[in-house]
Amino acid sequence: MFGQIGSVLPGIALCAAVTVLAFAAGWGEARLFGEPWIEALVLAILIGTALRTMWTPSALWRPGIAFSAKTLLEVAVVLLGATVSAATILSAGPALLLGIAAVVLVAVAAGFGIGRLLGLPVRMALLVACGNAICGNSAIAAVAPVIDADSEDVAASIAYTAVLGVAVVLALPVIGLGLKLSGVQYGALAGLTVYAVPQVIAAAAPLGSTAVQVGTLVKLVRVLMLGPVCLILSLLAPQLDRTASAARRPAAPPVRRLVPWFIQGFLAMIALRSLDLIPQPALVPMGHAATLLTVVSMAALGLGVDVRTVARAGGRVTAAVVLCLLMLGAVSLGLIHLIGLA
């Protein structure tokens, strides 16, 4: 047991060091520009990838890097469930709740189709589709272990999604003003299209406090769809390798293993939060822990990335993300007018 722990410590320490550099770079951005335009999560991937480009980790580092990329990420997904409560979700009303769920499912399916039409591999197409439809980097990170995605696919999806996600934050207020949307309508649009909660607040703020409140609520409900989507993908995962012959294709797992343990934990955390069984003082630290572990795991992913593989996928991934964003915006506007938000 102690030997196993010792084998992962060097790699974990390396990922932690990259994480510290990422947060330091984010702090530097905030000092220079007033706010960090590139999240620590993305910076961790970039720093890890740069280090991997200059240096190939030996057997001393690889076990800990693999542990950080998979196990720590799964723990982060479980902790993420503590940030969502049933009361917050139900306050949105049935029409909007059903509409958000429909938008997410349509966006995942359509985004996957767009990715495949552009020639993306199955798993990368799923990563781009889920990141676009749910919550960007966090969704990509959560879906990756469910579908057994390669680190190169994860890094490429997050890199291009993150860059275009910032572009959406900058462009969305102009679109909202141009379309003369009310605070409620624009807040719903921001919550349905922007990736991260802080980015939703930044995008919604120019149109007032109502837009911020509605946008944050819609965004939290959208994040909740991560659980059902991961559940569906876990059921479909054995069928992803269609190129394998029937004899080589892995047998379907038993029912108890269809839902990964961390998705079960994610849903359990939501239930515990909704029943007030998680002490209030623990909620903020749990959220911070989820963020920290996610950044550490992204550093690990960066350390496992061959930058040449990412570069080869660049044009197609960028096109897929742009088309997915345009599609999501159109579907979201359709929902806003369909349910008659004022």
Taking only the tens of pLDDT, the chain with its 342 residues reads: 545 777 899 999 999 999 999 999 988 888 887 766 677 877 888 898 889 888 888 889 989 998 998 888 788 878 877 877 777 666 667 888 899 999 999 999 999 999 999 988 889 899 999 988 988 877 888 888 888 888 778 877 877 776 677 678 778 888 988 988 888 889 899 999 988 766 777 678 788 878 877 887 888 788 888 888 888 888 887 777 654 444 444 444 444 444 567 767 877 888 898 888 999 999 999 988 988 988 898 788 788 776 665 566 567 878 888 898 899 999 999 998 888 776
Within 8 A by CB and 6+ apart from 302, the residues are: 18, 44, 45, 46, 47, 48, 49, 50, 51, 52, 155
Sign of CA dihedral 205, 209, 215, 219: positive
Residue 181 gets which letter from DSSP?
-
Count of C-beta atoms within a 10 Å radius of residue 23: 15
Chain centroid to Cα 95, Å, comes to: 25
Q: Hey, where are the domains in the chain?
A: 1-241+251-339
φ, ψ (nearest 5 deg) of residue 256: -65, -15
Unique residue bearing structure tokens 């690990």: 300
